[in-house]
Amino acid sequence: MVDKLKGFFAENLGLKIISLFLAFSLWIFVKGSMREEVDARAVVELREVPSHLIVTSVEPEVVNLRLRGFLSQLATLSPRDLRIIVDLRDATQGLNVFKLHSTDLQIPRGVEVLAISPSQVEVRLSRVISKVVRIRPLIKGRPREGFTIKEIKVDPPYVMLRGNPEELDELTEVKTEEIDISGIDEGLYAEVPLQISNLRLKGEPIRKVRIKVEVERR
């Protein structure tokens, strides 16, 4: 019996391997040709924001999708690539509500959008204001024993910001990232980033300043 089984598997082995390969390829082809439904998520991407306005809130920032298409197409969809576009060129100050449509979604041709939830997005915009604020260097540590700080220079000493009035109205200064002067006994020069990543700003303000710390003997 064992010899018969060995003979069965050994006989025409090459033909059996080819048949198995063809069957597997056919299964892959049929599976890829089937239309299936999947759930996905898309990030809300805002475009064409008017120059005099700034976005202060978006709700929701991500929407749920129900998609239908060939498995071969759906398998290539990456969550990072799914974007639903909201055009703000006609938006006004205050609350704006936009209906979401399948045509706003960037997806491969042939993929059908069955549902978008929620079906609308709320975008709140405020007028842009400009404000000049002082830059304050954030110093960490102390100079070497026997030395003291003589002077700290910031170049430039001020920065102009354009953004949300709710954030800028009460803002009087911007801090730099920490500058460690622990143990120094001579001048220190550094280019240091500003702590402004938490602010909703318009345009490209300066994001780094030059700091010069001078020390002297006591």
Q: Do 103 and 160 sit in the same domain of this protein?
A: no
- Residue ending a domain, choose from 78, 95, 127: 127
Whether a cis peptide bond, with omega within 30° of 0, leads into 60 is yes
Q: Do 39 and 122 sit in the same domain of this protein?
A: yes
Q: Is residue 7 part of a domain?
A: no
Q: What is the pLDDT of residues 139-167, one digit of tens each?
A: 999 998 888 999 999 999 999 999 999 88
Three-state DSSP state, 88: coil
Residue that is written with structure tokens 């300066």 in the block: 206
Q: Residue 12 class from Cβ within 10 Å (0-12 exposed, 13-18 middle, 19+ buried)?
A: exposed
- Structural domain that includes position 80: 34-127
CA dihedral over 27, 29, 32, 33, signed as positive or negative: negative
Q: Is residue 20 part of a domain?
A: no
Tell me the pTM: 0.67
Residue-level pLDDT at 193: 95
β partners of residue 102: none
How far, in Å, CA of 37 to CA of 44, rounded? Answer: 22
Q: What is the pLDDT of residues 114-133, one digit of tens each?
A: 899 999 999 999 999 999 99
Q: Do 206 and 135 sit in the same domain of this protein?
A: yes
Q: Do 120 and 46 sit in the same domain of this protein?
A: yes
Residue-level pLDDT at 130: 93
Q: How many domains does the chain have?
A: 2
Spans of the chain, pLDDT less than 50 = 5, 24, 26-28, 30-32
Residue-level pLDDT at 163: 92
